[in-house]
Structure 1
Amino acid sequence: MKLNNNIRQTFRVAKIELSSMFYSPVAWLVLIIFALLIGYDYANVFDNQLRAQSLDRELWNVSSAIYNSWMTGILKPILRNLYLYIPLITMGLMSREYQSGSIKLLYSSPVKNSSIILGKYLAMMCYGAALMSIIGLNVLFSWLTVENFQISMLLVGMLGIYLLILAYSAIGLFMSTLTAYQVVAAVGTLAVLAVLNFIGDVGQNIDFVRDITFWLSIYGRAISFIEGLLPSADVMYFLIVIGLFLSLSVLKLNTEKKIMSLRTKILKYSTIIVTALLLGYLTSLPEAKLYYDGTYTKSNTLSPESQEVMKKLTQPLTITTYVNILAPDYFAGLPFNRNWDFERFEHYVRFKPDIKMKYVYYYHHANNPDLDAQYPNMTDEERAKALCKISDLNFKMFKSPEEIDKIVDLSGEGYQFVRVAEQKDGKKAFLRLFNDNQRHPRETEITAMLKRFVAKAPMVAFSKGYGSRSINNYGGRGFYLFAKDLWFRNSLLNQGFDTREIDLDNEKVSDDISVLVISDLREPLSEKALANVKDFMARGGNMMILGEYGRSENMNRLTASLGVRFSDGVLACPNELNSPVVLRTTYTEEAVEKHSIFATMRDFGYGVSVPSSLALDYSEVKDFEVYPVLETSDKAWIEYETKDLVDGDFICNAEAGEKEGVYATLIYLRRKVGDKEQRIVVSGDSDFITNEEFGLSRPGMEVNNMGIISGSFRWLSNDVFPIDTERIAAIDNRIDLSSGWRFWIKLFFMVLFPLFLAISGISIIYRRQRK
């Protein structure tokens, strides 16, 4: 009975507060401004999508393009501006009672202080719902007009915005209990919100303080919701913050209504705050976190293949980050960046909560030209001390070169920024930063590193001698970059493979070699080397055979048993580069059907550049299933006459046997050998995977040679590596409206709806004043 009475009192207070709120011009003004800004952004973004569709451009993931894209999404600007609206509404919730003197009537009435606070907060929840209904209106319109609209993703995003409004409201309500002046309450609310936004940067160098202040930070808490991810830790954060400030508000009224000693007040306030922090700590533990991904493509979740790897990791795992202050990128691993650094692995901790993150700091000479230029005449120790002074770090936390060498051997990593993952059984794997714009590893590289613990890394052996391309060659024609460069993201080493060279004359191609690569035979293989290769081939070994112009005779000797023949002349075709022997090849329909990565490359409009390639004749193949993967356009021909590939004239001469047509430049062969499937890749070109080719820009030629490498080596490794992180494609790729709707959409959301709110507000306030 008493509980029901308290509930009735709460609703009564809420009703009175709502009446007062909506009879105020401020509440309506905030609604109108909110509607104008959102309507303007939404109408423009939707208009751009509709216009693109009317121009026959393909739309993709329209839901994200409208709402949560970093470039065009309308929800992230809402998050940035919310703090400007809420204090204008909350500033009078209690301050008005103090100022008018009605607080004394409330104190003397049978209404409990908790009912007063909860009633006023319930009114703010209703006002927040009114703000959300403005967003909900365009979400409803999108749901009705966008094909396969991702409504679950938007509902999660709207929940995040609403929780943020509620958190701001609770803070504003508490600040309103502290003063009778509404302006002071509004400014105080802004001050508290500013503190909560920036407190995450406070004390990040101190282990105990770091986690507390980072948890207190409200900055970016709703971003994950906007992106369609519903994390329990962030939901609990908002609920705890709301509960904290509502409890403080009730206690503030209680301290005014009852006489309390200062000690009692401090004890009660401290109890509330400590309880909130304890709940925050418990709900932030990895073991306590739950997640829901509202996106159709599950873009906020590890790919299925990564999830399978995580399921197989049964032993405890520790990831130790070794931070050398004298190496580039040391800043990313410093103490005040640890929490941000941890977020790079949060998707993995979600599936394996017992992952431990450790950091070891040291100084050691490393390749860092910028540092050499900045401190040319200092020793390594002096440089480390200078950098510590700049970053306000304690030099004693950094181990000396002698100390770090006793702990771990990082010489093979050049003492660069590196992470070492280690299982309880002592097995280790390395994870590096890369020499590109993103620097940090993505899911593909992280999972490839972790998969080394549950699957044997395929060994790729490159033949040496006979003019073959070397994986130790840094020059333009070498294979170093794609085969073993530690700091090239797409190198085989960073995608899960091990690589080495093999002397075919003096070392047997053993069964521990997963793929044998033979390239660019300028000299014919010796009888011993050829027999060695044929024996490996007869045992069902996987191979990649790369030809090159001028080596046809030597290559044909190798592939004769396969039934594949390299052309004598070079392929040529006129192109934008005015270099007819540099061809842009495309993926065949059969390759696209069989391999998803090739379908993705084709969908993005990418082909593969092949400089001075030979054509492949596979008409004599008998024992293998064979299909072409890369082919030329129908304007290509085999050039027999011109030998100068740089300055020569390339003309298709029918009398010389040259004929325009489609020619294969890369083919796949497979067959059953015993209980295993043998897979062989044959290419008419060796240059397409050289160091030089990855560094070249070919204007007018849309190519991505990493696609064919990743796809081919995944096929050769029986789909073990590289990791496939592809997700299902988005299906919200069309708007079911004609371009004629563009004017009416802008008119409604930019003019008519805000005007409707303005007329409604004026009408209600006018009727109130007449009464």
Structure 2
Amino acid sequence: MFKMIYNIARTELQMLFYSPVAWLILVVFGVQAGILFADNIAGLVSSQEMGYSVAGASMSIFTSPWGGIFPSIQNYLYFYIPLLTMSLVSKELSSGSIRLLYSSPITNFQIIVGKFLSMMIYGLFMIGILFLIVLCSWGVVKDFDWPMVFTGLLGLYLLICAYAAIGIFMSSLTSYQIVAAIGTFAVLMMLSMVGGWWQEYDLVRDVTYWLAMSGRSGKFIAGLICSEDLLYFIIVVCLFLALTIIRLNAVRQKIRFVITLGRNLGVILLVCVLGYITSMPQMKVYYDATATKSNTLTPNSQEIVAKLDGGMTITTYINALDPGASWYAAFHFLKPDMERFDQYLRFKPDMKLKYVYYYDTTANPQLDRRFPNKTLREKMIEVCKIYGMDSNRFMTPEKIREKIDLSGEGNTFVRQIVRDNGQKAWLRIYNDMQRFPSEREITAAFKRMVMELPKVGIVQGHGERSFYGNKDRDYSAFANDKAFRHSLLNQGFDVEEVTLDEQVPVHINIMMIADMRDWLSPEQEANLQQYIDRGGNLFILGEPKRRDVMNKLFAKFGYEMTTGVLVKQDTNLLADVIISYPTKEAADSIAYDFGTMRRYKMAMSTPSVAGLEKIADKGYKETIMFKTDTIGVWNELETTDFVDDTVRLNPAIGEVEKIYTTVVALSKKVGDREQKIVLTGDADCISNGEFGRRVPTVRTSNYTLITGSFFWLSDNEVPIDVRRPPLPDDKVYVAKTGAAVIKWSFMVIIPLLLAVAGILIWVRRKGR
């Protein structure tokens, strides 16, 4: 049997390569792949010569969704395969040679598998062209990521095989080759669309979504082998080969239509069952081939998920009247939304995902203006009409309120995590481009359930900044803004108000004092000193206008704020808006976030800031976290109107031009723990208004002062450390001349050699 299959495959390959079509496709495919490769190499060379990092060069060349070779090739493959498969069976039907095959001792199974084997071998020729590119990349890229790239090649090859199986089936349905090609295109289009069909019905959602072929090789290209995707290609290939065999058997043996239909439906039903089983989280097996395991949860997240014993459900609440965000998880988008938790389902496959649809009052002025005189239900019905939704599936406000109180979340898109032991936590979306929580936020929510996280007490009662309001100078975004990704609330901290009228509660791990206007009473100062003496951590933000008060506090740690306001003459900014830069010491010993700022040349805007100077040794180890520019900054003592007046350096009155420290970290051993303190010369740097400032000449990242400082103050507990090892492929060994050689080799020479080979074989065949 196997010898017959081999003979059929060999015959098909001979006929294929004796025709110009097969060679033309290889030439066009080679030119296309060569152009993509040459462009990507040239881009990396240019970036490297300009001093930019090219870390992840393997990914940039092959797997990047923005111009990578594999994603681009994936989008064009369906153009090539139907042109090859359209004649595999239809030519036998049109020429009548199928009768000769039927009269010979060859089974339909052998015929079809032999023809499919020929296409598998041809697919290897296409992959071989890409392999030449891989070999070249291995020679020019430092620490080339072989496993990831080979996984991408496997995904593309499986996609070619699936397309070939579909093409063979369509070719068996007609004796017209063009019709077979068009039919193949139609089936491929249907398989790319079926994932969006009937998604509103729970019983068929998983099946239709599994049947979709679009994006199936995407995980392979990204360097992840998932058993579901691997089995999908195998099952789809077997499905269409089986349908082809059934079709030929019906013609050859003149089987009744009802029997043939029953066999087809039986095969399709079996495939649906297998697809459903293989797509279950408990049945999936993974292999992450990337160098840094970028498709897998980081070790910290894995450790936390491992502690989540027992059942757990994540319920997504979707308000029809929410201004837009709810439709990310509408009926038609449930499966893509569920995939946001794939990495967690991998390590906790018993986690359940549920969706609840309702309508209730929420802030949506646009909808109010559009339907000013309609009730809530009437507005919901209008919205459902727009999006093609079934309004009967939305719970009324009364019913949803009986089930859960979402008023604290503003009745907006929100997820609630509930463990079987009763523990609960929230997951939200945020007002930024990413919108959905990343691994850092999701794992922080899980971590709340497995350990006691640090509590932050914000001192109030002495004129300090508020963390409840929404004014520019308030700290609501810093502390508890549910829509701000980097707020303490969303990064795993609990925040509460603290007064110093009594001793600071023992559960407070970190205390924040910002822009204090009035000094403490003796009793309050004693309570503060008791917290300091017990080794409590502090985050203290000064303000030049409150120097007299804040210096009393700073003096407890051997520091004071300099006189005046730091200024710099800058045409792009007001003179008192100073740019502070993270130090290497902050990156090395405080938090990795500051290293990220340094790597990407980011800074922090500090408006109306004072410098910090050491005045006494209180036994603390000092780490300067942020400093001003190397030149041009001084402490202005005369000018107060920085809008209309011009600042001028006047050393005679004590104005000093130098590098000033604006943020400092202090630490020392207190008992069995290390006390940590952060002092700043500015309180506006983490205010609501400053997060939105855009500086023309530098990228600012003020929120990093929050994430970095509190990571250190919480003893590296939260925000969650989701770092991965640095990408090793960070250098390209060619310059512009080498890139030009690569361009000509893969865009011209290799395709030309393929064309010459095809012409020689074709001429030789003609001569015979």
* Smaller-chain TM-score bracket: over 0.9
CA contact (8 A) 1:511 1:541 kept: no
Equivalent runs, 1:158-307 vs 2, <5 Å: 158-307=153-302
Equivalent runs, 1:403-482 vs 2, <5 Å: 403-482=399-478
The SS at the match of 2:149 is: helix
1:259 is displaced (CA, Å) by: 3.9
Q: Which residue of 2 aligns with 1:671?
A: 668
Pairing partner for 1:553 from 548, 564, 582: 548
Once residues 70 and 221 of structure 2 are traced to their aligned partners in structure 1, the CA distance between those partners, rounded to angstroms, is 7
Cα 1:64–1:576 change in 2 (3 A) is: farther
Letter in 2 for 1:627: T
Deviations, residues 439-488 of structure 1 (Å, cap 9, x unaligned): 22222211111111112232211111222111012111111111111111
The SS at the match of 2:417 is: strand
Q: Do structure 1's residue 739 and structure 2's residue 736 form an aligned pair?
A: yes
Bigger shift: residues 44-53 or 761-770: 44-53
Once residues 391 and 589 of structure 1 are traced to their aligned partners in structure 2, the CA distance between those partners, rounded to angstroms, is 52
Displaced runs of 4 or more, over 6 A: none
Letter in 2 for 1:553: D
CA contact (8 A) 1:544 1:680 kept: yes
Once residues 449 and 704 of structure 1 are traced to their aligned partners in structure 2, the CA distance between those partners, rounded to angstroms, is 24
Pairing partner for 2:133 from 135, 138, 147: 138
Q: Which residue of 1 aligns with 2:712?
A: 715
1:619 is displaced (CA, Å) by: 5.0
The SS at the match of 1:614 is: coil
Deviations, residues 563-622 of structure 1 (Å, cap 9, x unaligned): 122222222233343423211111112112122211111000101111111111235233
Letter in 1 for 2:660: Y
Bigger shift: residues 614-623 or 747-756: 614-623
Once residues 255 and 698 of structure 2 are traced to their aligned partners in structure 1, the CA distance between those partners, rounded to angstroms, is 79
Once residues 743 and 259 of structure 1 are traced to their aligned partners in structure 2, the CA distance between those partners, rounded to angstroms, is 61
Pairing partner for 1:308 from 303, 309, 315: 303
Letter in 1 for 2:739: R
Once residues 133 and 200 of structure 1 are traced to their aligned partners in structure 2, the CA distance between those partners, rounded to angstroms, is 31
Letter in 2 for 1:434: Y
Q: Which residue of 2 aligns with 1:319?
A: 314
1:500 is displaced (CA, Å) by: 2.0
Q: Do structure 1's residue 756 and structure 2's residue 748 form an aligned pair?
A: no
How does the TM-score come out when normalised to structure 1?
Answer: 0.97
Deviations, residues 180-200 of structure 1 (Å, cap 9, x unaligned): 111111111111111101111
Q: Which residue of 2 aligns with 1:385?
A: 381
Equivalent runs, 1:552-701 vs 2, <5 Å: 552-594=547-589, 595-635=591-631, 636-701=633-698
Once residues 642 and 512 of structure 2 are traced to their aligned partners in structure 1, the CA distance between those partners, rounded to angstroms, is 26
Once residues 69 and 2 of structure 2 are traced to their aligned partners in structure 1, the CA distance between those partners, rounded to angstroms, is 38
Once residues 341 and 309 of structure 1 are traced to their aligned partners in structure 2, the CA distance between those partners, rounded to angstroms, is 22
Q: Do structure 1's residue 63 and structure 2's residue 58 form an aligned pair?
A: yes
Q: Do structure 1's residue 80 and structure 2's residue 75 form an aligned pair?
A: yes
The SS at the match of 2:562 is: strand
1:262 is displaced (CA, Å) by: 3.3
The SS at the match of 1:551 is: helix
Once residues 315 and 668 of structure 1 are traced to their aligned partners in structure 2, the CA distance between those partners, rounded to angstroms, is 41
Q: Do structure 1's residue 368 and structure 2's residue 350 form an aligned pair?
A: no
Q: Which residue of 1 aligns with 2:355?
A: 359
Q: Do structure 1's residue 114 and structure 2's residue 96 form an aligned pair?
A: no
CA contact (8 A) 2:580 2:603 kept: yes
Bigger shift: residues 413-422 or 265-274: 265-274
1:112 is displaced (CA, Å) by: 2.0
CA contact (8 A) 1:75 1:226 kept: yes
Once residues 99 and 692 of structure 2 are traced to their aligned partners in structure 1, the CA distance between those partners, rounded to angstroms, is 77
Q: Do structure 1's residue 37 and structure 2's residue 32 form an aligned pair?
A: yes
Once residues 623 and 48 of structure 2 are traced to their aligned partners in structure 1, the CA distance between those partners, rounded to angstroms, is 37
1:644 is displaced (CA, Å) by: 4.0
Once residues 547 and 389 of structure 1 are traced to their aligned partners in structure 2, the CA distance between those partners, rounded to angstroms, is 54
CA contact (8 A) 1:634 1:660 kept: no
Q: Which residue of 2 aligns with 1:540?
A: 535
Bigger shift: residues 761-770 or 76-85: 76-85
Letter in 1 for 2:607: P
Once residues 681 and 474 of structure 1 are traced to their aligned partners in structure 2, the CA distance between those partners, rounded to angstroms, is 25
The SS at the match of 2:699 is: coil
Q: Percent identity of the aligned residues? A: 43
Bigger shift: residues 564-573 or 366-375: 564-573
Letter in 1 for 2:151: V
Bigger shift: residues 10-19 or 559-568: 559-568
Q: Which residue of 1 aligns with 2:699?
A: 702
CA contact (8 A) 2:427 2:445 kept: yes
Deviations, residues 745-766 of structure 1 (Å, cap 9, x unaligned): 2211111111111111011011
1:16 is displaced (CA, Å) by: 0.5
Q: Which residue of 2 aligns with 1:340?
A: 336
The SS at the match of 1:584 is: strand
Once residues 311 and 575 of structure 1 are traced to their aligned partners in structure 2, the CA distance between those partners, rounded to angstroms, is 53
Q: Do structure 1's residue 50 and structure 2's residue 45 form an aligned pair?
A: yes
Q: Which residue of 2 aligns with 1:3?
A: none
Once residues 261 and 67 of structure 2 are traced to their aligned partners in structure 1, the CA distance between those partners, rounded to angstroms, is 48
Pairing partner for 1:16 from 11, 14, 19: 11
The SS at the match of 1:721 is: coil
CA contact (8 A) 1:575 1:583 kept: no
1:321 is displaced (CA, Å) by: 0.7
1:215 is displaced (CA, Å) by: 0.6
Once residues 77 and 361 of structure 1 are traced to their aligned partners in structure 2, the CA distance between those partners, rounded to angstroms, is 38
Once residues 30 and 724 of structure 1 are traced to their aligned partners in structure 2, the CA distance between those partners, rounded to angstroms, is 48
Once residues 655 and 389 of structure 2 are traced to their aligned partners in structure 1, the CA distance between those partners, rounded to angstroms, is 70
Letter in 2 for 1:508: Q
Q: Do structure 1's residue 95 and structure 2's residue 90 form an aligned pair?
A: yes
Deviations, residues 185-223 of structure 1 (Å, cap 9, x unaligned): 111111111110111111111111111111111011111
The SS at the match of 1:543 is: strand
Cα 1:401–1:50 change in 2 (3 A) is: same
1:653 is displaced (CA, Å) by: 2.7
Letter in 1 for 2:43: N
CA contact (8 A) 1:576 1:700 kept: no
| Aligned-CA RMSD value | 1.5
Deviations, residues 514-550 of structure 1 (Å, cap 9, x unaligned): 2111111222222222111111111111111110012
Letter in 2 for 1:348: Y
1:647 is displaced (CA, Å) by: 4.1
CA contact (8 A) 1:316 1:355 kept: yes
CA contact (8 A) 1:95 1:181 kept: yes
Mind listing any 5+ residue stretches in structure 2 that lack a counterpart?
none
1:646 is displaced (CA, Å) by: 4.3
Once residues 55 and 531 of structure 1 are traced to their aligned partners in structure 2, the CA distance between those partners, rounded to angstroms, is 57
Once residues 534 and 454 of structure 1 are traced to their aligned partners in structure 2, the CA distance between those partners, rounded to angstroms, is 32
1:648 is displaced (CA, Å) by: 4.4
Deviations, residues 69-102 of structure 1 (Å, cap 9, x unaligned): 2222122121111111100000111111112222
